[in-house]
Amino acid sequence: MSAIAVLLMNSARADEGMWLLPLIEKLNIDKMHEMGFKLSAEDIYGINNSSIKDAVVIFGGGCTGELISDKGLILTNHHCGYGEIQALSTMEHNYLEDGFWAATLDDELPAPGLAVTFMKRMEEVTDKILEGVTDAMSFDDRNKKILENRTAIIKEAQEGNSYKISVYSFFEGNRYFMVVYEVFNDVRFVGAPPSSIGKFGYDTDNWMWPRHTGDFSMFRVYADANGKPAEYSPSNVPYKPAHHLPISLKGYEKEDFAMTIGYPGSTNRYLTSWGIEERTDIQNHALIKVRGAKQEIWSEAMNADEKIKLQYASKYARSSNYWKNSIGMNRGIAALNVLEKKRAIEKDFAERTKNNAEYADVLQKLANGYAKRAGSFHASIFLRETLWGGTEILQFSQNATELEKAIEAGVQQKIDEAVKALRETATQFFKDYSASTDQKVLAAMLRLYAGEVSTEYLPEVYANISKKYKNDYAKYASYVFAKSMFASENALNAFLAKPSLKKLQADPAFTAGKTILAKSKQLSEAGAAPMMEIATGNRLFLKGLMETHPEKVYYSDANFTMRASYGKVGNYEPRDAVVYEHFTTLKGVMEKEDADNFEFIVPAKLKELYATKNYGRYAANDGEIHVCFTSNNDITGGNSGSPVINARGELFGLAFDGNWEAMSGDIAFEPELQKCINVDIRYVLFIIDKYAGATNLINEMTIVE
């Protein structure tokens, strides 16, 4: 069987696919029923009646959560709530280290800036978006017309309501859907276990199986007296959702049906071989090299100082997650011959479309586009990872740009507004900032970027470093931190008390940051034309694929819109003679314990519960506490926190990770290897009840025994 035939056969498996909810009735429900699902498509996605989709939310800006009570109680991953927990923590009340449980509603902690978003409905608007669009149009004219149509659609949908309306591109711009959202901004922290449970295994176990992590946290969404979104107020009340998920204590067996519903962030399953090479050789290479170097500096500082450890806990976790993901993805792409499979698809495409003028030069356009932008894209990614996203002071300094404009304009009201905004930003920034650590990072990032790119891609600041400091990056970084007001909250506040244009424009961090932004803009402009070729090529390539393989059921790449995936609970075999069982137990936590390694410390209370077998009603049929389990659901980043739902529509797990052996899955789903790692809902309830004693939370849930 040819490689293309094998790939198409595998892609039809039920466990692959991130499916749009309005299309489940047409595309998926029959197969789901064959696999054991007991409900209807309307029970998943209903417009005129409550349905499962009403219990699933966007949590913050990049995760999924689910409602588990009629009082707005939200369950999500610990790593999704990590940033909020860290922000609410202090040295005196370290909720990351100690955990937190609100005994009453009054004890719940407001989480400023955190929002949860409900999807109200989704509808296809392809015909409206593409009205007036022709094949003869240039890339810019096509986009201009699409934007015009999109604006009109959103304006019409927003009339008479306060909903947030978005229109998303699907299938590389071949189809479009409008999504109607309702956003709630009063969200409060309810509870989380200590990180010794919620992040047990930390980086060592990240993306790995067997797993023993209680990766969950709890929040609550509040509304006004009418159940509508409102800014934080003590008078707000817990939100009553249209649907909340009942929780099953019945557990699972191998081959049991499992469905996830959530917000997968981004996949590139239709990416061509040239795009894959760019991803591995440029983008992933940059993440691996830069973040690895930065994390070494951070880690050293965090190990030496408890305050810095708390300040940088969330930053380190965010950086490390996709650093390790990039390593695994490159490894998986090579080990699983992904490029060879993609080239087989491209060869098949060329053969099938050789007599079709619309697709005659699609592959060549793609090859040309990627080749043309290679240099600027490489520099752009490294600039982002090193000088913009690597060191903190340069990016932070650019928050003063509005103040600079206001002073230049000489409008006092604008100056006052800019000063106020910068003060507020600074308060948050300096709470979690170590200047001494960032100084070391700046020197390392300047050196790394200069060593990675040709001189044409260096920002202007490098000329100054070469002339005055003889390319001694440590010496230059020392100068910046000695002289810049952005290295010290006191110095910045003193400046803001009497802002001066001359002083601002002489500040070394501010001026260096401006040159970096200027270079970033230049690189973006250099890559614009090739990007148009690539975008056009991708759209036509996928359109041609769908036309030449009408027998295949296609799903769109993830784009952080609500999707369902379905599969089964089960073991997997990552390598020859290696078989992993589909669940782990509390015994494994104890086996991994290492009192000398913070990643594997086990709390004394948990050890006591294990020793006495004080499991309550949360033990499985084998008498053990099951901690995590694997299923073959198709997930990616953004799905973190997604509910794992059984055949009866009940919550029995919480998705939180993928597996190391299939890190290439965002580009090519591997049906024999791809696994979704989930925390068992019984372990979640066991920790809430027996470990934390937070029975008030247990009592408001709908539990099915």
Active site residues: 79, 215, 640
Give the CA distances from residue 217 to residues 57, 448, 648, in Å, rounded to whole numbers and listed in that order: 14, 37, 24
Beta bridge partner(s), residue 201: none
Angle at the Cα of 177 from the Cα atoms of 171 and 179, rounded to 5 degrees: 135
The 10 Å CB-count burial string (b at 16+, else e) for 581-617 is ebbbbbebbeebeeeeeebbbbbeebeebbeeeebee
Instruction: Enumerate the H helices of 305-392 as residue ranges.
Output: 306-311, 313-335, 338-352, 362-383
Q: Which two tokens stand for residue 262?
A: 């959530």
**Tokens coding 568:** 């089964």
Contact 659, 209 (CB under 8 A): yes
Distance separating alpha carbons of residues 86 and 251, to the nearest angstrom = 32
Burial class (CB in 10 A: 0-12, 13-18, 19+), 686: buried
The C-alpha atoms of residue 669 and residue 672 are separated, in whole angstroms, by 9
Cis? peptide before 210, omega within 30° of 0: yes
Total count of residues recorded for the chain: 705
DSSP annotation of 199 reads: T
Contacts of 389 (CB under 8 A, 6+ apart): 395
- How far from each other are the two terminal CA atoms of the chain, in whole angstroms? 48
Query: For residues 365 and 537, is the Cβ–Cβ distance under 8 A?
Result: yes
Contact 261, 45 (CB under 8 A): no
Residue 299 has, within 13 A of its CA and on its CB side, a CA count of 11
* 282 and 404 Cβ atoms separated by less than 8 Å: no
Q: Which amino acid is at 278?
A: E
CB 702 within 8 A of CB 69: yes
Cβ atoms within 10 Å of 384's Cβ, excluding its own: 18
The CA angle 208-573-80, to the nearest 5 degrees, is 25
Q: Cα(508)–Cα(514) distance, rounded to whole angstroms?
A: 10
Contacts of 164 (CB under 8 A, 6+ apart): 117, 180, 181, 182, 183
The amino acid at residue 482 is A
